[in-house]
């Protein structure tokens, strides 16, 4: 059943970083059997977003935050070691090789939906909003990264994304309790 929500795009500097970081951490806590850490803090959320980052906010009619996702130029998120939980360093502008599927793409990341609102279509609406935004702003693709063990690779594949790079990491990497496979995915707009 689809939840009635309003979606809006907000520059990272204008969001309530405490509210969004709290939402992200609650959503990631559903993977506590795989991931021992905290995904982000308000300061780290804004640092990850960078100066060009914006957030898609999903809110109910009373303005209650139900979901969110970061969108930003994908180049700064290409290397898997630049992603991860709280405190992971990210360079401002890595050198992306010509022809890389994420070059020039819009990154969709840190997607989160309130736990009691999951499986109601909010996540699909966040993805669709990012895809519409990418088309409207001339991005050739939408790029995202996910950990296979979260069970989201198949979800994104059903939405038309394909895995372009996958790397396995040992337990302990990014505060994971288990070996895990990070997957970069892309969908042309």
What digits encode the pLDDT tens for the residues 55-71? 999 999 999 999 999 99
Domain membership of residue 88 (yes or no) is no
Find the range with the poorest average confidence among 35-39, 47-51, 159-163, 178-182.
Answer: 35-39
Average pLDDT, the chain: 89
Q: Is residue 90 scored above 50 in pLDDT? A: no
What is the domain-level CATH number for residue 130? 3.40.630.30
Domain span at residue 102? 6-83+95-188
Give the per-residue pLDDT at 96: 66
Tokens of 89: 């360093």
Q: Check if the beta carbon of residue 55 is closer than 8 Å to that of residue 12.
A: yes
Domain membership of residue 134 (yes or no) is yes
Domain membership of residue 1 (yes or no) is no
Domain membership of residue 37 (yes or no) is yes
Domain membership of residue 175 (yes or no) is yes
pTM: 0.89
CA distance 144 to 141: 10
Predicted confidence band of residue 173 (pLDDT cuts 50, 70, 90): confident
Measured CA distances, 8 to 3, 13, 48, 69, 125 (Å):
15, 14, 20, 11, 11
Domain membership of residue 10 (yes or no) is yes
The count of domains in the chain is 1
């Amino acid at each position: 059943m689809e939840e009635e929500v309003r979606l809006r795009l907000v520059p990272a500097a204008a969001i309530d970083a405490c509210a969004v970081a709290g939402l992200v951490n609650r959503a990631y806590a559903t993977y506590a059997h795989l991931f021992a850490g905290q995904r982000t803090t308000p300061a780290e959320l804004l640092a990850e977003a960078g100066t060009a980052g914006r957030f898609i906010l999903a809110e109910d009619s009373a303005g209650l935050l139900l979901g969110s996702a970061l969108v930003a130029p994908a180049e700064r998120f290409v290397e898997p070691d630049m992603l991860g939980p709280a405190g992971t360093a990210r360079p401002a502008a890595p050198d992306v090789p010509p022809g890389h599927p994420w070059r020039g793409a819009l990154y969709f990341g840190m997607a989160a939906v309130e736990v009691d609102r999951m499986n109601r279509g909010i996540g699909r609406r966040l993805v669709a909003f990012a895809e519409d935004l990418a088309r409207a702003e001339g991005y050739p693709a939408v790029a995202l990264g996910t950990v296979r063990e979260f069970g989201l690779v198949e979800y994104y594949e059903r939405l038309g994304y394909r895995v372009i790079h996958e790397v396995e990491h040992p337990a302990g990497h990014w505060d994971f309790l288990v070996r895990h496979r990070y997957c970069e995915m892309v969908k042309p707009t």
